Amino acid sequence: MTLETELQIPPPARLAIANVSKWFTTSRGPVHALDQVSLQVTEGEFVCLVGPSGCGKSTLLNMIAGLEMPGQGALVAGGKPIKGPSRERMMMFQESALFPWLDVFGNVMFSLKRKPGLSDAERREVAEYYLRLVGLEKFMHANIHELSGGMKQRVALARALAPNPRVLLMDEPFAALDALTREQLYGDLQKIWAKRKVTIVFVTHNVREAACLGDRVVLFSPHPGRIREQFKIDLPRPRDINSVALAAYATKIMSALKGHLIADHAEGQE
C-alpha cells in the first residue's frame, strides 16, 4: 500500500499531511526547510501555524495550495492527493495582490471568471454577497488606490471566499496592518468563519494572534522546520485579543516556543 493510498481518509478530515520534508537548492548549498511534518486538519477547523521566520510554515502552506511539491511525503485534500493548485484551496497573502485596473467589484468578479455552472447574473450575485459579508457593499465600485490597507485585505478575503473553496489558506494576511485595523479584522474574520465554516490554515509568527483566531495552534521550530507541539484553544468566540484568558494561552505558547528554540540551539551546538 502506498503512502498516498494510506492517506485516502474519509471526512471529517479535510487535509492530511504525512511525513513531508522539503529541501531547497541555494547558492550556499542545499537548505533543509521542513523535516518529517505530519498534520491532519478536520473539516471546518481553524488551525494556526506559528513559529519564527525560517521555520517552513509558509513553505508548508504553499504545498497545501499546490504551488510547491514536497521533496518527500504526501499531502491530501478531501481524499485526493495534492498535485497542483485548485479552486478547492484558495490562498490569501500578506499583500492584498489586487488588480489596480479593476475596481473592488471587478476584483471579486475576477475570481469567479472561470467558475463553471454560473451565469453572469449569478456571478454578480455571488460577488455582491461576499462584499456584503466583508462589509464593503458601499465600496463595490471604488478604485483600489482609494482603499485603506484594511479595506484592501477585506477585498482580498472576499475574492478568496467567492469561489466557495473548501480550504482557505492565509499567509500572515494582517502583518502589515496597524494594531487597530488588525483587531477589527480579527473580529470580522471570526464572524465570517463562524458563518461559512470554511476550513482555514493560517500562518503567523504572532502568538497572540494565533491564540485569538485558532481552534488549534501548531508550533514549529526551525532548521529544519518541525512540528514541536500543538495547543487546543478552548475559549468561546468571538475572542477578544486583549482578554486575560487569551493572554494566558499566548504566554503558555510563547514559553513553549522559547523552550524549543533553546533546546534546538543546544542540540545544534553538540
Instruction: Write out the E strands in the chain.
Output: 13-26, 29-42, 46-50, 72-77, 80-81, 89-92, 167-171, 199-204, 216-221, 226-232
Global model pTM greater than 0.85: yes
* Residue type, position 149, single letter: G
Q: Which helix (H) or strand (E) holds 151?
A: helix 149-161
Instruction: Give the whole-number percent of the chain exceeding pLDDT 70.
Output: 93
Separation between Cα atoms, residue 209 and residue 201, nearest integer Å: 13
Q: What is the pLDDT averaged over residues 211-233?
A: 93
Identify the residue whose cell numbers are 501548531.
218
The percent of residues above 90 in pLDDT, for the chain, comes to 66
Q: Are 153 and 174 in contact (CB under 8 A)?
A: yes
pLDDT attached to residue 22:
93
Structural domains in the chain plus CATH codes: 3-87+166-269 (3.40.50.300), 89-164 (no CATH)
User: Looking at the predicted structure, is the pLDDT value of residue 58 above 50?
Assistant: yes
How do beta strands 226-232 and 216-221 pair? antiparallel
> What is the chain's alpha carbon radius of gyration, rounded to the nearest angstrom?
19
- Contact between 83 and 66 (Cβ < 8 Å): yes
Residue-wise pLDDT tens digits, 152-167: 999 999 999 998 899 9
Order across the sheet with 89-92: list the strands.
Answer: 89-92, 167-171, 199-204, 46-50, 216-221, 226-232
Cis peptide bond N-terminal to 12, omega within 30: yes
The C-alpha cell of 53 is what?
A: 521566520
Q: Are strands 199-204 and 89-92 parallel, antiparallel or unpaired?
A: unpaired
Name the pairing type of β-strands 167-171 and 89-92: parallel
* 119, 121, 122, 128 alpha-carbon torsion, rounded to 10°: 150
Dump pLDDT digits (tens) for 113-144: 877 777 888 899 999 999 998 999 999 999 99
Instruction: Tell me the three state secondary structure of residue 188.
Output: helix
Task: Look at residue 4 and tell me whether its pLDDT is greater than 50.
Answer: no
What pLDDT sits at residue 12?
A: 54
